[in-house]
Structure 1
């Protein structure tokens, strides 16, 4: 990376016109379930995916703090987009945090050239907890990748897919990075969640996909890591963006509204103190969500700068950050879901018009809150506060052995 990131104002000038262009059709894309290929292309062409790549490798050299500030703005424009790119930015950050320097440059250079990375991690069905049925097996001088994944967020838009697989002789899963158009790769648009509908979070099938040695990254999964906090902070930035969109849409709806109720409190909705109170509460939720995101991004940025200086990151520092992110995830999720519900207190039946798609804010926030269920973050936080338990960094989904 670089010790001298670009000016935040320059980054804003570069990307805000694209965010505005994305926002202009966000409700329509949602209404028609039109995948956001155009929006991803605009961002790619402007270098958004290369934000965290050093200029020497073709990127913009942005800091962690700058990245998350822009993700909040992108989430305000259309919350599908930061979720689509979550795996991409997570892979870039993993290269810095967990991958030896000798293995990084190839992938960073590709990102600097505009490549987008998607994910294929989670498997459906009755697989054992903590195990991956997707397998990487030796095939001549290279490897063969076979399996099926779901929740492959961003992969429909990606040039490369980061696949988590089991490999003989490895106690931990490995990451196989394969071209999205490689022989044997099939990407299916079958995500049917009621929110985040355009993220491409469906099935990825892998049948005899050829993988070279240099496409395999073996990363130990025992020590504390900043990556858990990083991926959760991507969700928080998206939620903060949704809160800003709720604030924007609430104020615009009330400003333009001429109909009132006979038992209302003013001649117009804009002058009604009850409506003003609701919009003010929504604005407070948006502020607190963005402030929490910015605070945690500074924590991650400090850790990134320690690594850049070659200074070991203390485990206590990672524990503290992980617990702070858990607090924010619990609090911000409740704030944003409440704001998305209160949005409908400012108007009558016209606020329910499907052409407005105001319901997308609640649906999208609810979907983000369900990806890594908030109740388990709250439980882990409570266990720490009561019993001093350490945070859990590595999760998996599956069926527990009897």
Structure 2
């Protein structure tokens, strides 16, 4: 057997083992979620608890000091974290994606340094989206050489997780115009992070602006964007889908509890006790089915993602290419199913609750606001078109994006 060329390995973890480690931490994260939502309190303590529990090492193989989880297991856990607090879950998107990138990268001393950083609790945030209406076709963030290092200047928006991070993953172009990702130390001169996110949902993800003014970047921390792992865009998208599935599960949880706590029913209801009313029970049953559909779609799509990773481990370029097409189709299908489930569940749940359901004490509207915000990433109308084009014309769904790794805005 040939020597592996990357640090990626077949999964060795069991999901119940992982849950035993992380579910108690997720439960702690869930406490205080309502107060943080009401007062826009940033969950620094909660993110740190997860870092200390080594959630960031979940995909690192056991032989290298991590948990050895599969992609399917990773996204199952992210779904469960999303049910506890979707803001905290979203903070992990950039970090987990960069860990996956370093695991896919060829083995080298620089890669080993990054794996040690992950294991020691160093956290990655950042963003690729250009501020000031820039696009991936018009990247205005620049890298210029400065002796033995580089200087980064530019502005980004949607810099999710940046306020919690030690490192920022930034997309720029070098003097030759080559798209390059730079890992920038967050606590240095020339880096300015601003909490100016104005969205009505996902309010504490630190998804505001990041401005770089000749920020120092070491040469070892530059990576050509075209060499990022092939399923990067799918990983980013599936992270959002996992959180949306978590929100749908949380809607079922909170809707069931709110119905049980209803003290009275309408005069034209079908039972004196609201929790005995068949029509209201039907609503909760519908939310349950929507949550089940979201979970099933996530479970199916992430199994296909694991097949892409397996082809990479095996060094089978042809199989990897085919698995990527299948994964794009699977994740796109899942996106359409999960977004629909989340938006419908977070709306219809109020039909079971009456006027008491809109109380700011319950803050059940947070589920719809958070779901709607996440669903607005990578709009599904485009994904429906891409999926239809594949079915009818066999158009390659991997060619729809501006970068080979499939990162869409």
Q: Which of 148, 152, 168 is matched with 1:141 structurally?
A: 148
- The answer (yes or no) to whether the contact 1:228–1:394 under 8 Å persists in 2 is no
Residue 298 (structure 1) aligned to one of 290, 303, 320: 303
Asked whether 1:277 is paired with 2:279, we answer no
1:317 aligns with 2:323: yes
Work out which of the residue numbers 91, 99, 114 in structure 2 matches 1:84: 91
| Counterpart for residue 10 of structure 1 | 17
Task: Name 2:132's counterpart in structure 1.
Answer: 125
CA distance in 1 between counterparts of 2:33 and 2:354 reads 23
Q: Hey, what does 2:60 align to over in structure 1?
A: 53
Q: TM-score, normalised by structure 2?
A: 0.92
CA separation of 1:54/1:13 partners in 2, compared to 1, >3 Å: closer, same or farther? same
* Distance in 2 separating the partners of 1:23 and 1:275: 27
SS of the equivalent of 1:220 reads: helix
Which of 199, 207, 221 is the equivalent residue of 1:215?
221
1:163 pairs, out of 170, 174, 180, with: 170
Residue in 1 aligned with 2:5?
none
Match in the other structure for 1:289: 294
Give the Cα–Cα distance (whole angstroms) in 1 for the partners of residues 71 and 195 of structure 2: 31
Residue of structure 2 equivalent to 1:400: none
What is the rounded CA distance, in whole Å, between the counterparts of 1:56 and 1:167 in structure 2?
Answer: 36
SS at match of 1:336: helix
1:152 offset after TM fit, Å? 0.2
Give the distance between the partners of 1:376 and 1:182, measured in 2 at CA: 39
C-alpha contact 2:312 2:320 (8 A) present in aligned 1:
no
1:292-346 C-alpha deviation (Å, 9 max, x unpaired): 1111111111221222233324322211110121111112101110110001111
Deviations 1:132-167 (A, max 9, x none): 111000112211111111100111111111110010
In the alignment, what sits opposite 1:260? 265
User: What is the CA distance between 1:54 and its match in structure 2?
Assistant: 2.6
SS in 2 for 1:114: coil
Q: Which runs of 5+ in 1 are unaligned?
A: 397-402
Aligned to 2:243: 238
Cα deviation, 1:50-76, whole Å, max 9, x if unaligned, reads: 111233443222221211110110011
The answer to whether the 8 A contact 2:152-2:215 is kept is: yes
- Between the aligned partners of 1:393 and 1:84, the Cα distance in structure 2 is 27
What RMSD over aligned residues (CA atoms) do the two structures have, in Å?
Answer: 1.7
**Equivalences for 1:331-350 in 2 at 5 Å?**
331-350=337-356
Asked whether the 8 Å contact 2:123–2:166 carries over to 1, the reply is: yes
Equivalent pair of 1:58/1:113 in contact (CA under 8 Å)? no
Distance (Å, rounded) in 1 between the aligned partners of 2:112 and 2:376: 35
Taking the aligned partners of 1:327 and 1:297, their CA distance within structure 2 comes to 12
Q: How does 1:5-44 map to 2 (within 5 A)?
A: 5-44=12-51
- Deviation at residue 181 of structure 1 after TM alignment: 0.6
1:308 maps to 2:286: no
| In 1, Cα distance between equivalents of 2:85 and 2:32 | 9
- Map of 1:353-364 to 2, 5 A cutoff? 353-364=359-370
Shift of 1:254: 0.8
| Alpha carbons 1:225, 1:393 under 8 Å: kept | no
Structure 2 spans left out of the alignment, 5+ residues: 1-7, 404-409
Q: 1:229 aligns with which of 234, 244, 248?
A: 234
Matched, 1:177 2:190: no
Q: Is 1:371 the counterpart of 2:360 in the alignment?
A: no
Equivalent-residue separation in structure 1 for 2:400 and 2:143 (angstroms) = 24
Aligned with 2:73 (options 54, 66, 71): 66
Whether contact under 8 Å (2:304, 2:326) holds in the other structure is no
State the Cα distance separating 1:260 from its structure 2 match: 0.7
C-alpha distance in 2 between matches for 1:57 and 1:145: 32
Count of matched residue pairs: 393
Which whole-Å CA distance do the structure 2 matches of 1:134 and 1:9 have between them?
43
Residue 104 of structure 1, CA deviation: 2.1
Q: CA shift at 1:44, angstroms?
A: 0.7
1:190 is aligned to 2:191: no
Q: Are 2:99 and 1:95 aligned?
A: no
2:162–2:206 CA contact under 8 A, matched in 1:
yes
Partners of 2:51 and 2:262 lie apart in 1 by 38
Q: CA deviation at 1:4?
A: 5.2
Q: CA deviation at 1:395?
A: 4.1
Distance apart, 1:351 and its partner CA: 0.8
